[in-house]
Chains A and B, each alone.
Chain A
Amino acid sequence: MSKKEIVIEPLARVEGHGGIRVVIEGNKISDVEVRILEGPRLFEELVVGKTPEEDLSIVPRICAICNLSHKYAALRGLEKALGVTIPNVTQEYRHLMHNGEIIESHSLHLYFLALPDFLGYDNAVAMADKYGDVVVKALQLKKFGNKIMRMMGGRMIHGENPVLGGFGKLPSKKALIAIKKEAEELLPFAMATIDLLAGLEIPNHIERETQFLCCKPTHEGYDYYGEFFITSDGKEHPVENYKEVIIERTVSHSFAKRGTYNGAPFTVGAIARIILLRDRLTGQAKEACDKLFNERWHRNPLYNNFAQAVEQVFSLESVISIVDKLLESDTPEIAQRTTETGSGTGAVEAPRGTLIHSYKIKDGKTTYADFITPTAMFLDDVEAFIRTGGENLLANNQMENIELKFEMIVRAFDPCISCSAHLVEVVYK
């Protein structure tokens, strides 16, 4: 029986340094590895012995694209541990910050990392000749997300402005009004993107059933954080129980930390959120979802790109409504801690999926930290989809461009390799 090994390395247009290895024996795929080629950074150990303020400065450095999601998850965990209760208006400022990151990350991924594949280009700059309008507008949208991140974070990446209990400095009313106006101007482009995507054909060779997980918003609407996880089997789980919900395991050929739910791979990210929470959408986001959503989303991760497009609309609309609320609110005080010892788990929806930060603090110093990143959660599912897709392609003898087809699956998940760098492939002696 013939044996063929396909190695795609480096994996382009993803965040961080990774690769894919697929072993084909006859017409079966005998092995799939999505490889994380970055060295371990050991953040869980780096923060031990540090103050919560240092933790908050250090942990966003895990990942640049979703640095504010790391900050946000850390804040939610650390504030629980230290008995900090933030005012509602501070929470609104955090929502604004987080929506900015969703817009920044989704627009980067959708237009610049994923769309070139669907339109047949190496990169987004090369697309500019034929799709100049889309590229220019996409840059504007991304810039807008970055502007909010800079405004709320202090700078675009690794801003120190969000602190325990509040923010170092809050934006002026004038800046907020300008943000709202820009969001209104960008909404038509976000909606036009929905129509652009509606015209794309999504290949069906990779389809298989899977499970989904995301945070359940604490209110009736759609959102990117929660105190419970909601899963596609209809269950809800308190975030504190995350270790019983997401089982991290070690496997002989693969790496130390990978998550499963109910003993099987699962998907997180925009597609999981839309599948589980779409009934909560209103306004143009609902309209966008109705245009794009179909039953195949449950089996095909390429639709994650579509889900991100729907969330772009939702986040732009959210920015508008949040600014309206903030303009009528007083300036909040920075909430103070009430204890120096405690533990807490914070969960948020990073652009690419559920992100968990858990801390133990004793006498003002960190004694334990645990982070589970979205990429750690969905990597098993990525491999499972590559396997299904590869076997179907083999069965139909469609070997042409098989590398690109594998890459597209990985890219659809919008993986964050820096985040998952503690997911190194390992073998046991």
Chain B
Amino acid sequence: MTTQEKKAAPKPKIGVYGFTGCAGDQLLIIHTEDELLNLFGSVDMQSFVMASSNPIEGELDVAFVEGSVSTDEEEEHILDIRKRAKILVAMGNCAVGGGPQAMYTGDKKYKERLQKVYGDNVKFFIEPVEAKPLDAYVEVDYYLPGCPIDQKQAFALITRLIHGAVPETNPHPVCHECKLNETHCLLLDKKFCLGPLVAGGCDSVCPSHGLPCVGCWGPIEDGNFKEHFKLLESFGMSKKEITRRIKNYGGHKILQYLENL
């Protein structure tokens, strides 16, 4: 009798990277506890510097990148990762839209703010640039929005990608999740809630705590911005005030929706 040779398909090569941000999205993966050991077991983890020493930087099946591009060094790094990775996932609000550090995008005052925090005549050893999302530099295949990402949404995508399946999109706003959770609508109380304009995935966590949505998943494509602005204005808030607040987590991605209001 011949013994059958044991062979298995190679595990997908994965890299997890952190650019400028709070590291919260990588931390959420580390914080899965139950899934973390399975994840390390079911993939070939090439590079995950926050969790392990001695990374290998070569070809990758999937790269997960957290953080905004905020230095010239990071710009080079994202170009390099893109070259090596078959699939690139922008993970978290900073990678998707630029993050809170991109809330003033377009006001042309970046240099001024930099100087206010660091003082005059400062020459940095790496050159800082105003925060931009990954897709300002490279093509991004999938987006995992959120500040921070949601474990359930993230693992649904990660699981499909490492098994060669196509992940589902999440085309619903926060309001949809409020309805599923039977959460009382804060707009009925005339509270400033951004839910109708914001992508879901958080399981409507803030409204579930009686707190308005601050918009940390970024804009949803089919949000009715014009009508929602009108509604919020009728609560006694100025357009300027609403715009300022929605930009806190809107980064680059919000700008197109604010153009024709």
On whether the beta carbons of A46 and B28 are closer than 8 Å, the reply is no
Q: Is A49 an interface residue (CB 8 A)?
A: yes
A142 touches B31 (CB 8 A): yes
In this complex, how many residues of chain B approach chain A with their Cβ under 8 Å: the count is 65
Decide yes or no whether A154 CB sits under 8 A from chain B. Answer: yes
Q: Is the CB of B119 within 8 A of A63?
A: no
14 contacting pairs across A/B (C-beta < 8 A)? A17-B19, A39-B101, A41-B20, A42-B116, A46-B104, A61-B22, A61-B99, A139-B36, A156-B28, A158-B216, A168-B206, A256-B117, A418-B23, A424-B125
| Shortest CB distance A257–B (Å) | 8
Inter-subunit contact A37/B209 (CB<8 Å): no
Q: Does B68 have its Cβ within 8 Å of any Cβ on chain A? A: yes
Partner of A37, one of B53, B73, B202, B210: B73
For B123, the chain A residues whose CB sits under 8 A away are 426-429
Residues 145-164 of A contacting B (Cβ, < 8 Å): 146, 154-161, 163
Cα A61 to Cα B18 with chains together (Å)? 15
Q: How far is the CA of A58 from the CA of B214 in the complex (A)?
A: 10
* Cβ contact within 8 Å between B24 and A158: yes
Interface check A186, CB cutoff 8 A: no
Interface size in chain A (residues, C-beta < 8 A): 68
Chain A residues in 8 Å Cβ range of B205: 154-155, 159-160
Interface residues of A (CB under 8 A from B): 10-17, 35, 37-46, 49-50, 54, 57-58, 61-65, 67, 104, 108, 112, 116, 122-126, 128, 139-140, 142-143, 146, 154-161, 163, 168-169, 250, 256, 417-418, 421-422, 424-429
Quick one: which of A38, A54, A112 contacts B70, CB cutoff 8 A? A38
Say whether A122 contacts B24, CB under 8 Å: no
Q: Smallest distance from the beta carbon of B56 to chain A beta carbons, Å?
A: 11
Is the beta-carbon distance between B101 and A41 smaller than 8 angstroms? yes
Is the pair A40, B118 in contact by a Cβ cutoff of 8 Å? yes
Q: Check if B200 is an interface residue, CB within 8 A of chain A.
A: no
With both beta carbons as reference points, the residue of chain A lying nearest to B24 in the complex is identified as: A64
Asked if B74 contacts A42 (CB within 8 A), the reply is: no
B1-45 interface bits toward A, Cβ cutoff 8 Å, 1 = contact, 0 = none: 000000000000000001111111101101101101100100000
Shortest 4 CB-CB contacts between residues of A and residues of B: A39-B70, A64-B24, A123-B52, A168-B209
| CB-defined contacts of A41 to chain B, threshold 8 Å | 20, 70, 99-101, 131
Q: Are B33 and A142 in contact (CB under 8 A)?
A: yes
Shortest distance from the beta carbon of B140 to any chain A beta carbon, whole Å: 19
With a cutoff of 8 Å between Cβ atoms, the chain B residues found around residue A169 in the complex are 208-210
